[in-house]
Amino acid sequence: MLNEFKSLMTLLQSYLTWVLNISSGKMAACILFLFFALLVILESCWPREQRFSERLRQSYRANIQLFTFNSIVMSLLSISSLWALAEQYSDKGLLNYITNPLGKAILAFLALDLLLYIWHKTSHSFDCLWMFHKVHHTDPYLNVSTAFRAHFLEILIINFMKAMLIVVLGIQEALVLANEIIVTFFTMLHHTNISFRGERLLGRLIITPYLHRVHHSVKRHEHDRNYGSVLSLWDRLFGTLAELKPAEIGVKGSAPQDLVGLVKCGFTRADRSPVQPVNLDTMISEAAYYKAEKRGFYPGSELEDWLEAQSEIK
């Protein structure tokens, strides 16, 4: 496992150097690696769900191998970095009409976060995009390394969309770097196998692990929820938020758990059942049960849990 961590550190540095094409990529990689190591320690000491060690190692191997492959592909393609685009267009975009630096930073962050939400929702809506995105959903054992399980074609599309937004808005280089660090950290946090006090309360503002677990449910009417990257605002605003406990994580049927299989998986036909009508009372019951579980089934709040779940789901 230590060797895999060292490999990940090297790959984080190479990836960020490719994306940002600056010496700051090394500093950002160090920061993110420290976050990664901290999250690994937390999920090892206080796991939300117990995992068989061999299957967890298999997940780490597959995810790091895929991340290695993606980094090599990106380097070989020699695509212009986001940093280079920001350097070239930072004085030409729409954000130049805003003089307040803080206001400019907040708008840049919100725009990028909304872009990722829209992309994520779109990739679940169209089979031609779900083909690539489903690779991320094939991990049946969510852990911090699942954040790096992505098909290289999906990464290309996402970075192309980011590049377009950087050009249109004229997002400055420092803001691009800050956003890459924030998004990568939250992506790792989402998949970490941990639970903590105040998680539900914090979920009113940001996407936390318990919210993102729903998104990895085998059931389509559950995994077509909670698309947010950092903020849960977009899911609440567009009605895609769900607070449920998924019975099973992954995708229906057997899924590859090796590098070659995962790369090939992105080119196979998307096989998903259409969304079936869901019994509203069943969803409310599941949500109310999860709320009761979060407070240790302490008696006296059953009606309150039901009404709150009913309000949220409707």
Rounded mean pLDDT for each run of 10 residues along the chain, 314 residues in total:
56 54 62 86 86 82 90 68 79 88 94 97 94 94 93 92 93 88 93 90 93 94 94 95 89 88 87 57 72 69 74 68
For residues 103 and 146, membership in a common domain is answered with yes
Total number of domains constituting the chain: 2
Tokens of 288: 């109310």
Residue carrying structure tokens 């990106």: 74
For residues 36 and 85, membership in a common domain is answered with yes
The pLDDT assigned to 82 comes to 78
- What single-letter amino acid sits at 245? K
For residues 302 and 232, membership in a common domain is answered with no
Question: What whole-number distance in Å separates Cα of residue 181 and Cα of residue 25?
Answer: 10
275 touches 221 (CB < 8 A): yes
Cα–Cα nearest to 209, from 4, 1, 42, 34 = 42
- Cβ-based neighbours of 88, under 8 Å, separated by 6 or more: none
Q: What are phi and psi of 54, to 5 degrees?
A: -65, -40
In which domain, by residue range, is 310 found? 280-314
The pLDDT assigned to 12 comes to 58
For residues 272 and 298, membership in a common domain is answered with no
For residues 180 and 51, membership in a common domain is answered with yes
For residues 161 and 284, membership in a common domain is answered with no
For residues 89 and 41, membership in a common domain is answered with yes
33 touches 183 (CB < 8 A): no
CA–chain centroid gap for 271, Å, is 22
The pLDDT assigned to 235 comes to 96
The pLDDT assigned to 112 comes to 96
The pLDDT assigned to 226 comes to 96
- In three-state form (DSSP H/G/I as H, E/B as E, the rest C), the secondary structure along the chain is CHHHHHHHHHHHHHHHHHHHCCCHHHHHHHHHHHHHHHHHHHHHHCECCCCCHHHHHHHHHHHHHHHHHHHHHHHHHCCCCHHHHHHHHCCCCHHHHCCCHHHHHHHHHHHHHHHHHHHHHHHHHCHHHHHHHCCHHHCCCCCHHHHHCCCHHHHHHHHHHHHHHHHHHCCCHHHHHHHHHHHHHHHHHHHCCECCCCHHHHCCCECCHHHHHHHCECCHHHHCCCCCCCECHHHHHHCCCCCCCCCCECCCCCCCCCHHHHHHHCCCCCCCCCCCCCCHHHHHHHHHHHHHHHCCCCCCCHHHHHHHHHHHHC
For residues 297 and 154, membership in a common domain is answered with no
For residues 157 and 290, membership in a common domain is answered with no
Paired with 206 in beta bridges are 231
Tokens of 39: 């999250």
The pLDDT assigned to 130 comes to 94
For residues 138 and 24, membership in a common domain is answered with yes
- What single-letter amino acid sits at 184? T
- Cβ-based neighbours of 116, under 8 Å, separated by 6 or more: 158, 183, 229, 230
End-to-end CA distance of the chain: 45
For residues 132 and 96, membership in a common domain is answered with yes
For residues 217 and 302, membership in a common domain is answered with no
Going 262 to 267 to 273 to 279, the CA torsion angle's sign is positive
The answer to pTM > 0.75 is yes
